[in-house]
Amino acid sequence: ETGVTQSPTHLIKTRGQQVTLRCSSQSGHNTVSWYQQALGQGPQFIFQYYREEENGRGNFPPRFSGLQFPNYSSELNVNALELDDSALYLCASSSATARNTIYFGEGSWLTVV
């Protein structure tokens, strides 16, 4: 069992609202990535944080933003929610210096109505 934990596990939001998803990385991992997994699709890379700075971004608009804290925990914020934002959001942690295994959390299911 990995040490990556995410909260909340499920939530429902209304179109136009804002949401914050949280992730606690595995101990010793200084890199966190966020992925969006729509139904029937593979995970899509949103962005990555290393030492509290964004270090790579996928094809997602600026209303998707993030933070990484000194303890390596992380948040994903999505503003002006759209129906298509409904998906499973996965957090993954790794050690950039070691480039070892990337561990995933169980995800947060977001439904936008």
Binding site for another protein (CB under 8 A): 2, 31, 33, 35, 40-45, 48, 50, 55-56, 58, 90, 92, 94, 96, 99, 101-107
Closest distance between another protein and the C-beta of residue 18, in Å? Answer: 25
Residue 105's alpha-carbon distances to 25, 32, 61, 92, in angstroms, are 9, 11, 23, 6
SS3 84: helix
Q: Which is nearer to another protein, 92 or 110 (CB)?
A: 92
> Collapsing DSSP states into helix, strand and coil, what is residue 92?
strand
Checking DSSP bridges between strand 53-57 and strand 64-68, what pairing results, if any? Answer: unpaired
For residue 76, the minimal CB distance to another protein (Å) is 15
Shortest separation between residue 12's beta carbon and another protein, angstroms = 20
> Closer CB to another protein, residue 8 or residue 16?
8
56: left (phi over 0), alpha (psi -120 to 50) or beta: left
- Minimal distance in Å, beta carbon 13 to another protein? 23
